[in-house]
């Protein structure tokens, strides 16, 4: 018997949906405004997970142009029945204010690798749908209902409606299953022994998050609440290393043991910000003699380590410490994501200059439409990212470089641009919760540099940029930033995605600046989960 350390999927991997077919486990997570849409990981042992595919890859499947930050694709739910994989998910177009313009869809595929069907519309009553396949062959969609009216709870309860797979649409009456005083969302249905169980995410997806249960002898209710208010939560333990625990799904292993996949976050620094966003963890769970779900270790706190049978310690210690892309492939590695639009040859090419990734500059870093930005998830708070850039900007409106990203309102951009006095220069621009700044006083002229070696180093939330002409002699550029601002917990309003780091090219004059990147390397420096650490002072408090 070995133990696995949580989280099992580090970095921005929220709203996990887990299922098993034979000896294969699959985990699907939300991607929000990032494409390709919905990340699916595979494992044989629930210890070693590999990103294998994304169901939403084509423009005719998904259009996120114009979507605001933290909108897009929410809470996918993966299931398998009748020889088909089913994926239901929400497309969020409006998330700020009284209204939620949300549309729920289902896609199917005979293989987890696809091809996946074009989306079929289900409803728009609320978000977080899941699909339950009953033993009698009937299928049911369950989702939360949104109420936009003033002076009423926005979370208006959990509703259920039958799904006709042949007609590919919802049919029959709508049943309201449950309402609670706490915010409830992320519903999932299960059948165990003689009961139908409703698993709920409650309390919002932040520090008050948790999982609760209800049950009924009929799928349409009435449902009785679990006498224990929460099965899983960290809301009463603010110093616990894993926070925001909630939004989970159940899976049964081949040996009959039950497990729960759920989201969590790891706070960083004195400000306790969750730079890696909402990640995925797993817990062992059991059913009590009176038929309620409980954590196997007792209590409600997520275990930092979970016992997994028949897994060697060598396999468990094989954590990914380094991601390297030399751009020698003709296809973009699965780890990369783009904002709102797919990676297409019109702006991103691996063939125009073999061994390089070429970006054509497009709209600004604050655009919601056509950015030339490709990035990978930040998976540890202490890490180093490096790349090599060649570009020839002719105007200050052209920029290319290494970007540390949360969203259009908060990011740090080490870039090569053109200055009217000094020619080609390296400098830093950043956006701090919507306030745009440029550090022109620390720019470095590089007219005699053939290549620009760029580096971003995070140390428990502190961010320092360095540059080099030859990858041997490095010099710092700019101050130590408070990189922990790249988190769900900084700024005005609700945010739902974690930090990314990647490559970006901007050409606001639309002359299509060409930026060639030779290799990208992200090295993680793993540290144990801690409750406290130091943090730098940022440019703006």
Q: What token pair was written down for 43?
A: 């494992």
Q: What torsion do the CA atoms of 520, 524, 525, 528 make, to the nearest 10 degrees?
A: 170
Judged on CB neighbours under 10 Å (0-12, 13-18, 19+), 433 is middle
3-state secondary structure of 442: helix
Residue 262 dihedral angles phi and psi, to the nearest 5°: -150, 165
Q: Order of strands, edge to edge, in the sheet holding 130-133?
A: 130-133, 139-146, 155-164, 169-178
Separation of alpha carbons 233 and 202, rounded Å: 10
Return left, alpha or beta for 128; rule: phi > 0 is left, psi -120 to 50 is alpha, else beta. left
Beta pairing, strands 184-192 & 195-202 = antiparallel
Beta pairing, strands 452-459 & 383-391 = antiparallel
What DSSP letter does each residue of 138-161 carry, written as one string?
-EEEEEEEE--STTS-SEEEEEEE
Residue 441 dihedral angles phi and psi, to the nearest 5°: -75, -10
Evaluate whether 43 touches 69 at the Cβ level (below 8 Å): no
494-527 b/e with 16+ CB inside 10 Å = b?
Answer: ebbbbbbbbbbbbbbeeeebbbbbbbbebebeee
3-state helix, strand, coil in the chain (%, to 5): 0, 50, 50
Q: What token pair was written down for 65?
A: 């142009």
Which is nearest to 247 in space by CA: 483, 15, 8?
Answer: 15
Which is nearest to 520 in space by CA: 389, 409, 419?
Answer: 389
Output DSSP code: residue 273.
Answer: B
Which is nearest to 70 in space by CA: 498, 367, 370, 483?
Answer: 498
Separation of alpha carbons 155 and 126, rounded Å: 9
Write down how long the chain is: 541
Separation of alpha carbons 28 and 37, rounded Å: 10
**Residue 370 is a catalytic residue:** yes
Of 363, 370, 438, 521, the active-site residue reads 370
Is there a cis peptide before residue 413, judged by omega within 30 degrees of 0? no
Separation of alpha carbons 128 and 329, rounded Å: 36
Separation of alpha carbons 459 and 141, rounded Å: 44
Active-site annotation, residues: 370
């Amino acid at each position: 018997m070995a133990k696995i350390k949580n989280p099992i999927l580090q970095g921005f991997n929220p709203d996990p949906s887990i299922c098993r077919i034979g000896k294969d486990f699959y985990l699907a997570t939300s991607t929000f405004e990032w494409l390709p849409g919905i990340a699916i990981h595979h494992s044989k042992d629930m210890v070693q997970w590999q990103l294998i595919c994304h169901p939403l890859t084509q423009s005719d499947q998904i259009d996120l142009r114009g979507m605001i930050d933290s909108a897009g694709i929410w809470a996918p739910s993966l299931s398998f029945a009748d020889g088909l994989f089913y994926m239901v998910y929400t497309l969020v177009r409006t998330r700020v204010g009284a209204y939620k313009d949300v549309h729920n869809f289902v896609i199917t595929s005979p293989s987890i690798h696809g091809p996946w069907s074009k989306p079929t519309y289900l409803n728009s009553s609320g978000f977080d749908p899941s699909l339950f396949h009953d033993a009698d062959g009937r299928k049911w969609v369950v989702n939360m209902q949104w109420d936009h009216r003033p002076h009423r709870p926005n979370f208006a309860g959990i509703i259920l409606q039958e799904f006709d797979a042949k007609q590919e649409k919802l049919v029959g009456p709508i049943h309201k299953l449950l309402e609670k005083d706490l915010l409830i969302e992320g519903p999932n249905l299960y059948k165990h022994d003689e009961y139908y169980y409703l698993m709920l995410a409650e309390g919002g997806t932040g520090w008050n998050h948790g999982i609760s249960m209800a049950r009924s002898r009929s799928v349409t209710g009435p449902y009785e609440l679990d006498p224990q208010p929460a099965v899983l939560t960290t809301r009463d333990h603010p110093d616990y290393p894993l926070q925001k625990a909630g939004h989970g799904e159940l899976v049964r292993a081949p040996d009959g043991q039950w497990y729960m996949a759920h989201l969590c976050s790891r706070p960083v620094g004195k400000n306790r910000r969750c730079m890696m966003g909402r990640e995925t963890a797993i817990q062992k769970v059991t059913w009590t003699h009176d038929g309620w779900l409980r954590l196997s270790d007792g209590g409600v706190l997520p275990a930092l380590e979970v016992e997994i049978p028949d897994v060697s310690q060598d396999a468990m210690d094989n954590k990914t410490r380094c991601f390297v892309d030399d751009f020698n492939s003709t296809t973009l590695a699965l780890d990369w994501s783009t904002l709102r639009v797919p990676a297409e040859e019109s702006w991103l090419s691996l063939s125009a200059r073999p061994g390089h990734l070429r970006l054509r500059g497009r709209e600004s870093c604050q655009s919601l439409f056509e950015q030339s930005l490709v990035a990978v998830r930040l998976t540890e708070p202490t890490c180093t990212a490096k790349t090599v850039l060649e570009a020839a900007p002719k105007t200050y409106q052209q920029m290319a470089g290494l970007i540390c990203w949360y969203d259009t309102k908060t990011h740090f951009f080490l870039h090569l641009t053109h200055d009217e006095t000094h020619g080609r220069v390296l400098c830093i621009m950043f956006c701090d919760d919507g306030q745009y700044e440029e550090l022109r006083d620390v720019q470095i002229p590089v007219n005699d540099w053939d290549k620009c070696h760029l580096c971003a180093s995070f140390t428990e939330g502190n961010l320092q940029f360095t540059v080099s002409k030859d990858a041997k002699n490095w010099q710092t550029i700019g101050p130590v930033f408070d990189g922990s601002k790249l988190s769900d917990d900084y700024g005005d309003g609700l945010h739902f995605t974690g930090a990314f780091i990647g490559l970006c090219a901007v050409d606001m004059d639309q002359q299509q600046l060409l930026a060639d990147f030779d290799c990208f390397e992200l090295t993680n420096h793993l540290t144990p989960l801690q409750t406290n650490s130091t943090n730098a002072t940022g440019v703006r408090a």
